[in-house]
């Protein structure tokens, strides 16, 4: 990334209606360049979206040809031990604003949360109702639900309660075209993308299984065997 790109990207994001912070402060970028791993990768820009609308706005701007080559990496609590949240380009700080419990149904046993909500904060809200989000991580005071989803976090109770993926009912994904929910019919703009993903997953599954060891937790990458 050249020195001219960050101002251009900042201008484009503001013009598109992005409401969160957009920062190039070197101290902040340095803080975002490390996590619980041994790695360090300096980002060029840190953005902190206010909500899902901001996430879609960010995706839309980053899809423009002039910015499409820049990596975009979501970051939660930075507790990963494999450098998953480290990258150059744009770091998306979900921990700053996207920390809300959006909805909760105690009778049905589900909660709708934003990706930056910390595990202990969620369970503190759920405890009076006699329920909790099952995965028990050692970093529960800092790790976020979004980060747990991306790494399929488990913890000491996973043999009883399952991993994060065993406790997810649905996900909402920000795309340049809008929000894509796994709990709702796919909109027309998403069908070609989903069809292509399914074709790729099905055609490559046999080769993937044949070439990888049998593991019950693929915390160093996506669980493509179950895709």
What SS3 state is found at 91?
Answer: strand
Question: Is residue 180 in a domain?
Answer: no
Separation CA 13–CA 117 (nearest Å) = 24
Question: Is residue 179 in a domain?
Answer: no
What DSSP character marks residue 213? -
Separation CA 53–CA 41 (nearest Å) = 28
| Same domain assignment for residues 62 and 20 | yes
Question: Is residue 178 in a domain?
Answer: no
What DSSP character marks residue 144? B
Tally the domains of the chain: 3
| Same domain assignment for residues 54 and 108 | no
Query: Considering the entire predicted model, what is its pTM?
Result: 0.89
Return the CATH number at 143: 3.30.465.10
**Residue-wise pLDDT tens digits, 158-186:** 778 888 988 999 999 999 999 999 999 99
User: What domain range is 17 assigned to?
Assistant: 5-93
Return the CATH number at 17: 3.30.43.10
**Residue-wise pLDDT tens digits, 87-138:** 999 999 999 999 999 999 999 999 999 999 999 999 999 999 999 998 889 9
111's torsion region: left (phi>0), alpha (psi -120 to 50) or beta? beta
| Same domain assignment for residues 131 and 169 | yes
The structure tokens listed for 162 are 């399952």
| Same domain assignment for residues 150 and 204 | no
The C-alpha R_g of the chain, in whole angstroms, comes to 18
């Amino acid at each position: 990334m050249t020195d001219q790109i960050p101002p251009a990207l900042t201008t484009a994001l503001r013009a598109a209606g992005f409401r969160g912070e957009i920062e190039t402060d070197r101290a902040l970028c340095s803080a975002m360049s490390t996590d619980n791993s041994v790695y360090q990768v300096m980002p060029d820009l840190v953005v902190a979206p206010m909500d899902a609308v901001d996430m879609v706005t960010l995706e839309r701007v980053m899809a423009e040809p002039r910015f499409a080559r820049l990596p975009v990496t979501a970051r939660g609590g930075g507790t990963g031990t494999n450098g998953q949240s480290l990258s150059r380009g744009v770091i998306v700080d979900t921990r700053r604003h996207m920390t809300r419990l959006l909805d909760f149904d105690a009778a049905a046993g589900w909660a709708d949360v934003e990706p930056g909500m910390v595990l202990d904060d969620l369970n503190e809200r759920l405890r009076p109702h006699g329920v909790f989000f099952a995965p028990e991580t050692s970093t529960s005071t800092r790790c976020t639900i979004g980060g747990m989803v991306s790494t399929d976090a488990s913890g000491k109770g996973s043999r009883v309660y399952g991993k994060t993926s065993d406790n997810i009912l649905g996900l909402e994904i920000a795309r340049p075209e809008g929000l894509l929910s796994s709990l709702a019919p796919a909109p027309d703009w998403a069908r070609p993308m989903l069809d292509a993903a399914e074709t790729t997953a099905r055609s490559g599954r046999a080769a993937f299984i044949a070439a990888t060891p049998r593991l019950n937790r693929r915390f160093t990458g996506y669980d493509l065997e179950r895709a």
